[in-house]
Chain A
Amino acid sequence: MHQNLAIEMKNISKTFGEIKANDNVSLEVRHGEIHALLGENGAGKTTLMNMLSGIYTPDEGTIAINGEEVRFSSPKDPIQLGIGMIHQHFKLIDVMTAKENIVIGQKGSFFTKGKALSKEIKELSDKYGLDIDPDKKVYEMSVGEKQTLEIIKVLYRGAKILIMDEPTAVLTPQEIKKLFNIIRNMKEQGCAVVIITHKLNEVMEISDRVTVLRKGKSIETHNTKDVKVSELIELVVGKKVDLSISKDKIEEKKELLVMDDVTVLDPEGKNALEDVSFGLSTHEILGVAGVANSGQKELCESIAGLIKVNKGRIFFDDQNIVGKTPREIIKLGIRMGFIPEDRLGMGLVASMDIVHNIILKDYQNQPGIVLRRGPCIEKAKRIVKELDIQTPGITTPVKKLSGGNIQKVLLGREIDSAPRVLITAYPVRGLDIGASYKIYDLLNEQKKKGVAVIFVGEDLDVLMDLCDRIMVLCHGKVTGIVDPGKVSKDDIGLLMTGHTMEEIKSGKKEGELND
């Protein structure tokens, strides 16, 4: 039995400063097993896996690979032992081909041996059911293809143990299906696969066993088929939570914001948004779905006045706001909270404390030249309390807070400013389950107050539960605005990949669409 263990981590502890990121964590992963590592943000999943890939070394505890105890001193060591990590953000070089990306950084010949390599890659791909064109350049690839390439890259290096950090975050439902097939193939080939995730439905679908981490401790390991979703949630959160998103239809609507034929060009002169038209009403949450970088950012920024609109008009209360400065638009009552992938890129200043981040939207209304902190201190205290932000104090730099708490600061500030239009992009990105639901509640509250909300989201289940309508973007074009009550998740997935509603309805492409 012992030899059958691919990974055995025993009583691992790791402390950063005063924070115990991992406290006596144990994990066992067998060969030929798909093992899900489930936990909220900050539960210590990534820290644990980083120790397995040699990025950190544990303060205490032991790691054994294939039954042999090891101690890694650099990320190279685990690679030699056949451990491959696929990060959330791809580490690929855009201007190179798939093939070049695979061999880069490898020891051996200086020149890439063309044909032999292509053959090798072909064999690997066939073995695991991967589909890739070795000569395609990375910048021409879709997100799904890039991920496939990342997988081949680690397999080429001889990985038998794969660690995937939230691999589905950027994929469409169709791409997720493909990925899961690949993972199952790897399992059949005897690989051990660890998937870090916080999406419960995926745990249920793909994993054989699941280990739950909470607050740095390993709570329990279960056979997935013997455990219910509700039990898992309880394990993850530590208490029972109500996981329903309420959706009240409010009839008294008034159109507040209208986008009319808006086109935005990206720096290279390509259409980032193309002839986008839609209306947004009070008492409404409009969802925006789409594969990453389909124009969501440009959509938000064009309304907020942060980028140049090349064509078209945007009406707010029958007033064209195209060409207004961001400050004028803020004064009108339009607020945007955009959570970028690095969370801190836009909206917050990492090194400043909560008070100074809250002043950001207020100070311009203060008279005189002096910066008044007083009112903002009160506000900061209130936001911290209302949103239950975990922080040592309101004078702690926000970069020292956990991701979820950082997001609460941002959203709390925007909501507190009593907006008329609230644009939130990825507000729950990286948030734990409890915090996410808190945020959905907050958005619903705003909707009840009559705020027109735009919710750019990633998780289709959530979009369908929360939003009154969903607009789907693909390559900057609107492929459909649908009522989530009347379409299926797969339909939205198809819209995301560029099919139109008519095509889906007529079902002409059914055969090819569903593989």
Chain B
Amino acid sequence: MTNPIRITKRADLSRKNEIVIRILAVVLSIVCAGLALMIMGLDPIKIFSSIIDGCAGTELRIKQTIVKAIPLTIASLGIIVAFKMNFWNIGAEGQITMGAFGATLVALNVPPTTPTAVTLLLMFICAVICGAIWAFIPAIFKAKLGTNETIFTLMMNYVAIKFVTYLQYGPWIDPNGGGFPRIAQFTQNCILPSVLGVNIGWIFAIICVVLVYLFINHTKTGYEITVVGQSYETARYAGMNISKIIIIAMLISGGLCGTVGMIQASAVEKTLVAGIANGYGFTAIITAWLSRLNPISCIFICIAFAALIQGGAYIQIALGVSSAVSSIVQGLILFFVLGSEFFIQYKVSLKHKDKEVA
């Protein structure tokens, strides 16, 4: 009859306590990951120091981490815009792929003599348009017919990936590839320049963070998106054109993801492959949530995540452990950090040991 644990919703949590809970979550995750590693017969200290070493040990590794943080950040921003509106865009993966397709479409068709700035600008525009179109399709169906955007955007991912696979094996196969199913490498004028040793995408990412922040907090459309997300009925009542708002938000969301595709194709892969999005579109859903849809905190979360990915990849090579080890570490950190949200929202207290009900 008695339940010794009581769970109540917190009325208000001070900023300090919130930070304490979050730090505690990270500490606990490291302790648990350490225990898990010990059970597997590995030395946790060594693994952790290797992860840190792997993501920040040398200048090159720091650069590698940043290269991974760029697509994650921009894709998260795209997702934030959609999620602000309560539009569950889980199609970032496909929108990235289509953005890369758009960039490649330009790269393969411009004459090699075209100035770099012009090609890059054209690639960029085409990537944004393609990403936006991929987001527009589920958006228009949602706006006009009320379809479920979650399933729709998810399925659009596979269409995009299979479409690129088809190009890779069919019409766009590199004639000089010796029959190997790949698309030709970009010529030099299609490749994004580097700034301070990392591709210029990091500057894009910072600009996008600022723009998205200003857009959400200081523009009328950003305000409308938030109102639609919070209360559909209120938006209707205020005379907002909801269909238009859904479409605008998704065009922006898809456009940002398209930019990611452009950066990945032009600066990282230097060509188009089916796996160009590399799971960033899905990871970005997590980072967007963890940043609580705040563009500014998003950049830090994404760097942390990129470090984890980079460090995880490093220990596989450096220590020769299986990929499962880094997955376990990543998984445990996620488990605790996401789990801590519960303790931030709710208070759990043990009941006083009093007389019980007769």
Q: Is B241 an interface residue (CB 8 A)?
A: yes
A329 to B236, CA, bound (A): 12
Q: Which residues of A contact B59 (CB under 8 A)?
A: none
Q: For the complex formed, measure the closest distance between the CB of B329 and the CB atoms of chain A, giving whole angstroms.
A: 35
* Contact residue among B10, B221, B230, B239 (Cβ-Cβ distance under 8 Å from A350): B230
Given A17-B11, A349-B231, A356-B223, A74:B3 Cβ within 8 A? yes
Q: Please indicate the chain A residues that have their CB under 8 angstroms from the CB of B227 in the complex.
A: 349, 352, 360
Instruction: Give the size range of B's interface with the partner.
Output: 20 to 34
Supposing A18-B12, A346-B231, A348-B234 touch, asked if A371 and B356 sit within 8 A by C-beta, the answer is no
Task: Tell whether B218 is near chain A: CB-to-CB under 8 Å.
Answer: yes
* Residue from B2, B6, B11, B239 having most chain A Cβ neighbours under 10 A: B239
A327 at the interface (CB under 8 A from B): yes
Tell yes or no: A363 within 8 A of B by CB.
yes
Contact, CB under 8 Å: A371 / B237: no
Q: Is the CB of A16 within 8 A of B11?
A: yes
Residue on B with the closest CB to A306?
A: B236
Q: With A345-B231, A349-B234, A369-B219 known to touch, is A71 a contact of B356 (CB < 8 Å)?
A: yes
Cβ–Cβ contact B357 & A361, under 8 A: no
Asked if A326 is an interface residue, CB under 8 A from chain B, the answer is yes
Which residues does chain B contribute within 8 Å of A360, judged by CB atoms? 227, 234, 238
Query: Is the Cβ of B238 less than 8 Å from the Cβ of A361?
Result: yes
Q: In this assembly, does B196 line the interface, its C-beta being within 8 Å of a C-beta of chain A?
A: no
- Does B266 interact with chain A (Cβ within 8 Å)? no
Q: Quick check: is A72 within 8 A (CB to CB) of the other chain?
A: yes
A325 at the interface (CB under 8 A from B): yes
Q: Mark A341-359, 1 if CB is under 8 A from B, else 0.
A: 0001111111110001001
Whole-angstrom distance from the CB of B145 to the nearest CB of chain A? 15
Residues of A within 8 A of B351 (CB): 73
B1 at the interface (CB under 8 A from A): yes
A364 to B223, CA, bound (A): 11
Task: Name the B residues within 8 Å of A76 (CB-CB).
Answer: 1
User: How many contacts A-B (CB < 8 Å)?
Assistant: 92
Q: Is A510's beta carbon under 8 Å from chain B?
A: no
The residues of B that contact A370 with a CB separation of less than 8 Å are 218-220
A250 interface contact, C-beta 8 A: no
Which residue of the partner chain, among B3, B222, B233, B237, contacts A73 with CB atoms under 8 Å? B3
Which residues of chain B are within 8 angstroms of A345 by Cβ–Cβ distance? 231, 233-234
A330 to B237, alpha carbons, bound, how many Å?
Answer: 10
B1 touching A73, Cβ below 8 Å:
yes
- Cβ–Cβ contact A363 & B237, under 8 A: no
Neighbouring A residues of B356 by C-beta, 8 Å? 71
A411 CB to closest chain B CB (Å) equals 14
| A74–B3 CA distance with the chains assembled, in angstroms | 8
Task: Select the residue from A18, A329, A347 with max chain B CB neighbours within 10 A.
Answer: A347
How distant is the Cα of A17 from the Cα of B10 in the complex, in angstroms? 7
A180, B231: Cα distance in complex, Å: 39
Q: Are B233 and A18 in contact (CB under 8 A)?
A: no
Contact partners of A325 in chain B: CB under 8 A: 239, 241
Least CB separation from B222: chain A residue: A371
Nearest CB on B from A296, distance (A): 15
A71-B356, A74-B3 as given contacts; A326 in contact with B231, CB under 8 Å = no
**Bound-complex Cα distance A344 to B232 (A):** 11
Q: Which of B117-151 contact A (CB under 8 A)?
A: none
- Pick the contact of B11: A19, A326, A361, A364 (CB < 8 A): A19
Residue ID in chain B nearest A369 by CB atoms:
B219
Q: Does A487 lie at the interface of the complex (its beta carbon under 8 Å from any beta carbon of B)?
A: no
Q: Mark B332-358, 1 if CB is under 8 A from A, else 0.
A: 000000000000000000010011111
Q: Is A286 an interface residue (CB 8 A)?
A: no
Which residues of B sit under 8 angstroms from A349, Cβ to Cβ? 226-227, 230-231, 234
Interface SS of chain B: helix, strand, loop or mixed? loop
A350 & B357 in contact (Cβ 8 Å cutoff)? no
- Chain A contacts for B222, CB-based, 8 A: 371
- The answer to the question of A77 belonging to the interface, with a C-beta cut-off of 8 Å to chain B, is yes
**Do the beta carbons of A344 and B237 come within 8 Å of each other?**
no
Q: B221: which A residues are within 8 A, CB to CB?
A: 369
Closest to B217 in A: A371
Task: Give the residue among B226, B227, B231, B238 with the most A Cβ atoms within 10 A.
Answer: B238
Which residues from 205 to 255 on chain B have a C-beta closer than 8 Å to any C-beta of chain A? 218-223, 226-227, 230-231, 233-234, 236-241
Which residues of B have CB within 8 Å of A344? 231
> Is residue A57 within 8 Å, beta carbon to beta carbon, of the partner chain?
yes
Residues of A within 8 A of B358 (CB): 68, 70
- Residues of B within 8 Å of A77, CB to CB, are 1, 357
Residues on A with beta carbons closer than 8 Å to the beta carbon of B231: 344-346, 348-350
Q: Shortest beta-carbon distance, A344 to chain B, in Å?
A: 7
Max count, chain B CB within 10 A of own CB: residue among A19, A348, A350: A348
Q: How far is the CA of A304 from the CA of B233 in the complex (A)?
A: 13
Q: How far is the CA of A363 from the CA of B220 in the complex (A)?
A: 7
Q: Which of B163-208 contact A (CB under 8 A)?
A: none
Assess whether B237 is in contact with A306, with CB atoms less than 8 Å apart.
yes
Contact A369 B220 (CB under 8 A): yes
Query: With A and B bound together, what is the CA distance between A346 and B6 in angstroms?
Result: 33
Write out, one digit per residue, whether chain B residues 1-32 have a CB within 8 A of any chain A CB (1) or not (0).
11100100011100000000000000000000
Q: How far is the CB of B81 from chain A (nearest CB, A)?
A: 15
User: Given A352-B226, A371-B223, is A346 in contact with B233 using a C-beta cutoff of 8 Å?
Assistant: yes
Least CB distance, A406 to chain B, in whole angstroms:
13
Give complex CA distance A133, B243 in Å. 46
Q: Which residues of A contact B355 (CB under 8 A)?
A: 69, 71
Whether B6 contacts A57 by the Cβ 8 Å rule is yes
Most chain A CB neighbours (cut-off 10 Å) among B1, B218, B237, B355: B237
Docked pose: A400 CA to B346 CA in angstroms: 17
Instruction: Using known A-B contacts A306-B236, A327-B241, determine if residue A371 contacts B220 with beta carbons closer than 8 Å.
Output: yes
Give chain B nearest CB distance to A384 CB in angstroms.
20
State the CA gap A117–B58 with chains docked (Å): 78
Q: Which of A17, A69, A336, A369 contacts B237, CB < 8 Å?
A: A336
- Taking a contact as CB atoms under 8 Å apart, the answer to whether A73 and B220 are in contact is no
Sample of 11 more A-B contacts, CB < 8 Å, known A71-B355, A326-B239, A369-B221? A18-B11, A73-B1, A73-B2, A73-B3, A73-B351, A330-B238, A345-B231, A348-B234, A352-B226, A369-B220, A370-B219
Mark B residues whose CB is within 8 Å of A: 1-3, 6, 10-12, 218-223, 226-227, 230-231, 233-234, 236-241, 351, 354-358
A–B pairs, 20, beta carbons within 8 Å: A17-B10, A73-B357, A306-B236, A326-B236, A326-B238, A336-B237, A344-B231, A346-B234, A347-B234, A348-B231, A349-B234, A350-B230, A351-B230, A352-B230, A359-B223, A360-B227, A360-B234, A364-B239, A369-B219, A370-B218
